[in-house]
Copies of this chain bind each other. A is one copy, B any other.
Amino acid sequence: MAIADGSVVLDPGLAEAGNRKIDWAAQHSPVLNALRESLLKPGSLAGRRVGIMVPLEAKTAYLALVLRDAGAEVAVTGTSPAYVQDDVAAGLASRGVTVYAIAGVPADEFEGFYERVLAFRCETLIDDRAELVKLAHTKRADLADGIRGASEETTSGVTRLRAMEREGVLKFPVVAANNARCKHLFDNRYGTGQSTIASILRNTNLLLAGKEVVVVGYGWCGKGIARRAKGVGARVTVVEIDPVKALEAYADGFEARPLDECAGRGDVFITSTGVPDAIGREHFERMKDGVILANAGGLDVEIREATLRELAVDEREARPHVTEFTMRDGRRLHLLAHGNLVNIAAADGHPVEIMDLTFAVQALACRHVLLHHEELEPGVHDFPAELDEEIALLKLASLGMGVGALTPEQAEFRGTWE
């Protein structure tokens, strides 16, 4: 099977397997499918150039195809060597989209893929953790000229972009796609929640009912994880630094404790914090024999494999995606997916329907930048509220559900104070 010009993928022969995954994603993406016939119909993005850097699996591929079918030229890479599925990369390239991605290559080689995407003369970027944007403002500022704007997928990316905005260095507008309600309320909560727990189940074959699960971080992701952990019968303890979130955890039926207090009693630890070393050496030293460690946060060093390696006298693969570290005193700690995102690196990522919402946001954010960049100042911008509502309405319609409406009297009542 032929692949797109200039693409770099592991093995074009994997295309058929990849395409099957992409077709499955397409089949369960009612919102993107509805947009293909309306805001993103063929020709609507004719000739525009888009660069995408998000974890490269089937749903990402379908986003790229939707944009391509709307008329855009699209180049795609993954976010790291851990977050590429080679068969999907091959499948996508076989359909004529330019792909630069090979799983498992060294980090510096992978960074070359980032640069190739920038070099694709993109007008807009769909970015993750603001990595492409950062690159375009630092090392490869030479490639930033034609960039009109970008959109950003993650909480930590938005935090970074706001820091750039504060310092006045951000050169173009970026839509905080992450902050769209149809993104963070669903992706970070139901998406991360289900897929993190499901990945732990499939990779360990252990029972969660009755277990003590320690969730480190109680943002939207942590809330989703805790809820699903409870949903399979676990008891949950939450570790937070924000006292109000800790109190929410308490009122949600969980204990709220510093990690120092609960490191010794958890059976499973899941991080979603956005900070490095969320679980540190002093905590590993106190854990019970047999614990499971999984990261669902943006950084692959929230649980740092190197620290475990330093502490361990032995290391082996206990099951696929499960590394067993044996401590000096004989305790065995099991790290999943080497500390990478457990739902992406050791499973198939978020559920399809969730990414349908997220990527509908991204596709329309991309369109918004391409159509309106002249009206947008450099800086971080909200995703337009009316597009957010449009996405929700399309999704509800696909479910056969719907919303009510205010009567004129009710609408008037809400607008006045007297």
Contacts and interface: CB of A to CB of B under 8 A. Distances in A.
Contacts of A239: 404
Interface string A173-206: 0000000011001100111001100100110011
A143 interface: no
Given A159-B414, A232-B194, A256 B396 contact: yes
B233 A235 contact: no
A66 interface: no
Interface in A370-403: 388-389, 392-393, 395-396, 399, 401-403
Contacts of A294: none
Interface stretch (A5-13, A46-54, A76-84, A351-359): A351-359
Contact of A163 (B130, B134, B255, B415): B415
Contact of A205 (B182, B276, B348, B393): B348
A241 B389 CA distance: 11
Interface range on chain A (Cβ under 8 Å from partner) = 35 or more
B210 A251 contact: yes
Interface of A: 20-21, 23-24, 27-28, 58, 130, 134, 138, 159-161, 163-164, 167, 181-182, 185-186, 189-191, 194-195, 198, 201-202, 205-210, 228, 230-235, 239-244, 246-248, 250-261, 274-278, 280, 290, 317-319, 322, 332, 347-349, 351-354, 388-389, 392-393, 395-396, 399, 401-407, 409-410, 413-418
B206 A198 contact: no
Given A255-B235, A260-B404, A410 B275 contact: yes
